[in-house]
Amino acid sequence: MTRYGTRSRIGSERPRRSLRRISVAACTALVCVGCVSAESYEIVLHERDQLLTERETLKTRVRVLETDKRRLETSNESLANERRTLLENVEGLRTQRKDLEKDVAALEQTKRSLGQELAKREGQLEERETLLEERAAELAGLGAQLEARNVELDARTRELQARDQEIERLKSAYEAFVSDLEAEIADGQVVIDQLREGMRVNLPDAQFFAPESVELTMHGKVTLAKVAAQLRAMPHQVEVQGHTDDLAPSPALAERLPSSWDVAGARAIAVLRQLVAHGIAPERIRAVSFGSSRPVAPNDTPEDRARNRRIEIRLIPVIDAPNRPLAATFGN
């Protein structure tokens, strides 16, 4: 702005100098008017005109320069305003930059947090995948167990069906036993019980063996012949169980059979042999001695002891029969 002001002062001093020169020339011309010739006068006028023209030219130039000055001042002011605006914009941009830096820092923190969360989630996902693999293996094992259970269930279903059929056969056999041994049952010589699985024929000791003996009576042999006739028509395994009271064997028996186990076993063997003699296959039958270990009544009266001395014939379905020898020998 100072540069433009200096130029304007220089431009305004030039016309003033020209005017002084013109005045000096005019005075000189007046002084010398009488001395100069007409030709000299013309030269002076010509110079005066030139000077006047130059003066006008200079005035015009001054006006142009003043216009340029005003335009430059306006432009300078505009540039100053623009500079202030640019400075304000720069300050705004700096503020925005600081805000953006804060945003970037916040985003970086968010990025780190998200990275940590992602790593955590990935770890959880790996644990879930491991758990899913374990569950899949467990499910596979359960599937195998289920398949085995289904096979077992099918087998049990077939077994139940077989048992239902067995129950029907036992029911028919029970009715046949009762019909054929009706008189013996009525006299209490034979007691027949239909069990949940199988059937039991209870033979009181007094009806089948003489006192102090392990030999079958004739009545016992006749009754066992009827029992054998029914057993032959049935597919069951036959178990002959010998039971006694809690008294020791009599002296006559004790010489050969020193314990109640021996007495019960010998009587069971006698019944087994009688049944085999009447057509029961040996592989279907066995004899067992329980001695006095399974009483059905207290051993405190003669009547109850007589109830405990007994032979039980158990009919066991083939599917439940133990896979062991069916015959046992006691005594002879």
Q: What are phi and psi of 330, to 5 degrees?
A: -130, 140
For the stretch 7-65, pLDDT in tens is 445 455 555 565 566 665 555 555 555 555 788 888 988 989 999 999 999 999 999 99
pLDDT at 329: 38
For the stretch 205-242, pLDDT in tens is 888 998 888 999 998 999 999 999 988 988 889 999 99
Integer Cα distance of 330 and 256 in angstroms: 10
Residue ranges, the chain, pLDDT below 50: 1-4, 6-8, 10, 320-332
pLDDT at 20: 61
Length of the chain: 332
Closest CA to 243 of 286, 287, 284: 287
Integer Cα distance of 323 and 105 in angstroms: 85
pLDDT at 195: 74
pLDDT at 11: 52
| Helix axes 218-232 and 38-180, enclosed angle (nearest 10) | 140
Task: Show the tokens assigned to 158.
Answer: 């077939």
Q: What's this model's pTM, rounded to 2 decimal places? A: 0.49
Q: Half-sphere exposure of residue 309, counting CA atoms within 13 Å on the CB side?
A: 24
CB 170 within 8 A of CB 194: yes
